[in-house]
Every structure is written in C-alpha cells, then in structure tokens.
Amino acid sequence: MEKVLIAGWVGLIGFAAVAKPLFFEPFDYGAGGKISLQKGGVGFAGHWSDKSGTKGDIYAGWSGLTFGEMPVSGIAMTMDMAANQANDGINIVRPVGTALESGSLWVSFLYKFDGDSSVAFVNQLQTFVRLQSKGDKTIRFRMRANSLDSGGIAVRQSGAKGNEGSWPEPSLADGNVYLLIAEFPELGTVEGGAPSLWSFSEAGYAALKKKSGSVSREDLTAHCVSRAVGAQAPATVKADDFITVGVWAREANTAVAITYDELRGGTELADVLKF
C-alpha cells in the first residue's frame, strides 16, 4: 500500500513532514463584496480578475461553507450565474506565480451546487477549476465538479480533450457540500502521469480523519463518493500560469449558484487535506 504522509512522524524513516503549500485561498473577504481585484490568501502573483460572460456575479458570500470538523475560514466565493443566451458562463482568474516541474501537483477545494438538480439541467452545465497557460490559454490541468453531458466529476492533465477521464454518478449537484481532491502526478517526465480526482462527503472526510499518521491513495479511493482518472500525459506548472474558476452552460436561460471555498494547492497531500 502506498502511503502519503499527512502529518506527524514516519516511524520507520524517522523524519517529520513539513507541508509547504503552493497556494491557499480561503476567500475570507467582506461579505457581499466583489471577488475581482481581491488579493488575499498566499502563494499567488496578483489579484483576482473577472473574465466573465454577459450575465452573472462573483462575490464573497454571506457565510462560508462548512464541512464536518474541517477547519474553514468563514467566508466563501459564490458564482451566481443568470445567462440568457446559450454557450455562456462566468469565470474569474488569478496568476499562480510558482513553477512546478517535477513531483505531483495536489489541489483541493470545497464545492456546493445550488440550482435545478434535474438530469437535463445538470448535464448541460460544467463547473470547473483549472490551471492554464498565460500565453495561449492552453489547459494544463482541469478539475470538473460537474461535467458536461454526464453531470459527474472529471479530470484532465494537459490540453488534449481525449485525455479527460470522468465518473458520471453520483452527481454532486444536490445542494450538499463536497470536498474535492486532485492529484496530477509525474510532472516533468516524458510520459507524464495519470491524474485522479476524488470527491468526498462529510462522512468520507470523517473516515479519513480517523486514520492515524498517514492516508494512502487507497484510503482516498475507499472513502470517496466518486473518483475520476484521466489519461497519462506530460505536464508542468509554469511560473506565469493562472488559475481559473468558473461555470458554463450550453443552454440559454440558465440560472445557478456555485460556491467554492478553501482552494488549496501543494506538492503533497498534506498541503491540501486539512484536519
């Protein structure tokens, strides 16, 4: 079983793991205020900027998301979309500022869907967190909490659409809060790695918390709601890449609110899974 250190000592090796996150955004801003131009959190190279469609608003919510006993900041980011035309969406971007050319990139965030949960509505919608190239906007890494046509989660490493892996059921579009954790492995290698995206309910998170000292990838899979695995592909994080958070709808007259919170990035699971 492959172990991923969360905290404390590794008895057989005899050293302590020190988490060094790449970035952390708790969205702890004034309730009701715009997210655009905000520059809180750590590990970023600039402020948030709107790159949104014609209809919608992106603001700090009146309260943050809660998730069992997970430590949270108290405020979250809500994306309130009311698109009156097809193929429209809203999103917001921020420069990452740190290159990562080896090892793994781990990302996590809390997620909540508020809207029509019917299959027809959910399947024409996509919600996403992704890292992109500044120059040509190529997608390097993408995590979908709601995937177009399936309504489930999906993950991709590199810009090729054929590399995306998805898991259609269950949908996370049910009004509950979920924790999503992604690993993008073997960065900087010729062949690259196959990324994974796990989703967790509060019960799954509580089960992971009961583990003493370390959590394995097998543990993540055993206690998740769903897991998507993408195709193997080479990739790296560049210093001028930016992170994009958004929602997009294929059909007109789409109204939905998506809330994101506790956005974390790091090189170890310990950086993004907090107890």
Q: DSSP readout, 198-260?
A: EEE-HHHHHHHHTSSSEEEHHHHHHH-SEEEEPPPB---B-TT-EEEEEEEESSSSEEEEEEE
Q: Is the pLDDT of residue 55 over 70?
A: no
Three-class SS of residue 163? helix
Name the DSSP class of 272: H
Residue 105 pLDDT level (bands cut at 50, 70, 90): very high
Q: In Å, how far are 54, 72, 238 from 195, measured between CA atoms?
A: 33, 26, 18
Residues β-bridged to residue 108 = 181, 264
Position 6 scores a pLDDT of: 38
64/203 Cα distance (integer angstroms)? 19
**Structure confidence by residue, pLDDT tens digits, 9-27:** 233 222 234 456 899 999 9
Alpha helices, DSSP H only, in the chain?
119-122, 202-209, 217-223, 269-272
Residue with tokens 């009961």: 210
Question: Can the peptide bond before residue 170 be classed as cis, meaning omega within 30 degrees of 0?
Answer: yes
Name the pairing type of β-strands 153-157 and 165-167.
Answer: antiparallel
Q: Which two tokens stand for residue 211?
A: 């583990």
Position 162 scores a pLDDT of: 87
- % of the chain exceeding 70 in pLDDT: 90
